[in-house]
Amino acid sequence: MPNAGCLRYRKIPVTSGLEIGAELNSELTTSKAVIIGASSGIGAALAVELSRRGYALGLAARRIEMMERELVPKLSSPSCCTFMDVMDIEASITALHVLIRQLGGIDLLVINAGISGSSPVMERESTENLIKINVLGFAGMLHEGYRIFQRQGHGHIVGISSIASLLPHPNGSAYNASKAFVSNYLDSIRLRIRRRGENISVTDVLPGYVLTPMTEENKRMFWVADAEKAARQISDDIIKRRAVSYVTRRWRLIAWLLSLMPRGILNRIL
C-alpha cells in the first residue's frame, strides 16, 4: 500500500487534506491509529512499531519536516501526517479530524505530546507553557477523542503519563503534577466509561526513564530503556488493552511500593 506522506502545510486547510486523503482512504481496511506527538522519541518509535504491526497511521506534531524526512520513510504501512500544536486546541481538533478523514476512521488515539521542565528556578512563564501542553493540550485532545469514540461506539485512548506522576519533585514540580493530572484524568475517564457501559478502552502509560531527546541531557537516570524497547512494550499493552502500562515492567514494583508508602515517609526520603 502506498504511503501518503505528510501534508506540507502549517495551517490546516481541511479541503486539501481531504483531497490528499481520498486515495489513502479507499485502500484501508486495517486498524487506524493517530499519534499526537509523533515527531521524535517515544511517539516516533511507537509509530514505527505500530506500523510494523499493521496499523495505518495519522501522525501529528509541530516538526512536520522531521516526521516527513525521518519517520515516514521508516513506516511499512500507509500514513499521513500534519502539523499540530496542542497549545492551540481548536486548531488541533480540526487537524485531528483531518487526519481521521484521511485515514478513513480511527480505532486508537495515542496522546503522547509533552514537554519536560526541571529547573531549580521556578519561572511562571515556563510553568504556564508546560501546563498548556501537558495538561490543557492533553485534556483537549482527550475530550475530542472520547467524543469521537462515543459517537462511533468504539475506540481506544492511550495517554502517555510518567512514573513521575507518582512522586513529588523539588525541581520538577509542574512536570510531575502535570503527569499526575494525566494519570488521574485517564483513571476517571475509564471509570466513567465503565459506569456508562461504553465500548472504549483507556490505557495509562507510565514510562520510567526512556532515552529520547527529552532526556538526553539527563545524567542521573537508571533502568533506562531505549525508545524502541519502550515502543514494543507499549504496543504489547495496547494490543492487550491494559489499563496501565509500566515501561519498563520493573517500574510496576516501584509503583506498588510507592502506593504503600505513607506520604510523610516518602517526603523524608525524597
Ligand X SMILES: NC(=O)c1ccc[n+]([C@@H]2O[C@H](COP(=O)([O-])OP(=O)(O)OC[C@H]3O[C@@H](n4cnc5c(N)ncnc54)[C@H](OP(=O)(O)O)[C@@H]3O)[C@@H](O)[C@H]2O)c1
Q: What residues line the site for ligand X (CB under 6 A)? A: 37-43, 61-63, 84-87, 112-116, 133, 137, 160, 162, 207, 209-210, 212-215
- Active site residue: 9, 55, 146, 175, which one? 175
Nearer to ligand X, 79 or 116 (CB): 116
To ligand X, the closest distance from the beta carbon of 196 in angstroms equals: 27
Nearer to ligand X, 25 or 40 (CB): 40
User: What are the two backbone dihedrals, phi and then psi, of residue 180, each rounded to the nearest 5 degrees?
Assistant: -65, -40
To ligand X, the closest distance from the beta carbon of 203 in angstroms equals: 14
Nearer to ligand X, 103 or 131 (CB): 131
Nearer to ligand X, 115 or 139 (CB): 115
Q: Which residue do the cell numbers 512563564 mark?
A: 125
Longest dimension (CA), the chain: 59
To ligand X, the closest distance from the beta carbon of 180 in angstroms equals: 12
b (16+ CB within 10 A) / e for 121-140 = eeeeeebeebbbbbbbbbbb
To ligand X, the closest distance from the beta carbon of 60 in angstroms equals: 7
In one letter, which amino acid is 217? Answer: E
Known catalytic residue: 175?
Answer: yes
Q: Where are the beta strands (DSSP E) in 23-132?
A: 32-36, 56-61, 79-83, 108-111
* Among 188, 192, 47, 198, CA closest to 108: 47
Q: How far apart are the first and last CA of the chain?
A: 52
CA separation for the pair 63, 36 (Å, rounded): 12
CB 206 within 8 A of CB 251: yes
Active site members: 175
